[in-house]
Structure 1
């Protein structure tokens, strides 16, 4: 196993946890900026299907974007430290 891949494992785990926290906070802010108040919960009986599904789609897009950006940044950092791409 390459040294860069071994070095990336703990970095990737820490970055993944941070990315999840960041994405959750970002989604809440985006939802509030849209004037929707609190984000809907899928089990909220008073919310309509459309609102639940739109919120889930936006949340998923934000999580995927943040995750990709954080993982890519981590890989670039490992390459700078180790000299090779963590594949």
Structure 2
């Protein structure tokens, strides 16, 4: 394994945690904007319908994936600027 890849591991983990926090906040705000309750439904929430549960899960997945990709790409680009090598 390349040294740059090993050195990037802790950075990648920190960026992953940061992206999770950012994505969580974005999802909560998006759910409020859509006019739904304060909290998104869980799959086992008996009082919520299929469409609401699936909409929440789809929106949450899309936001988390988008934020993770953006933060990961930005981290890799910053690593290249600093070290001259791509971490992957």
Q: TM-score surpassing 0.5?
A: yes
TM-score range (shorter-chain normalised) is over 0.9
The Cα of 1:5 is off from its aligned counterpart by: 1.1
1:53 counterpart residue number: 54
Indicate the residue corresponding to 1:10 in structure 2. Answer: 10
TM-score for the superposition, normalised by structure 1 = 0.93
- Alpha carbons 1:40, 1:52 under 8 Å: kept: yes
**Unmatched runs of 5 consecutive residues or more in structure 2:** none
Aligned length: 87
Give structure 1 stretches of 5+ with no counterpart: none
The TM-score with structure 2 as length reference comes to 0.93
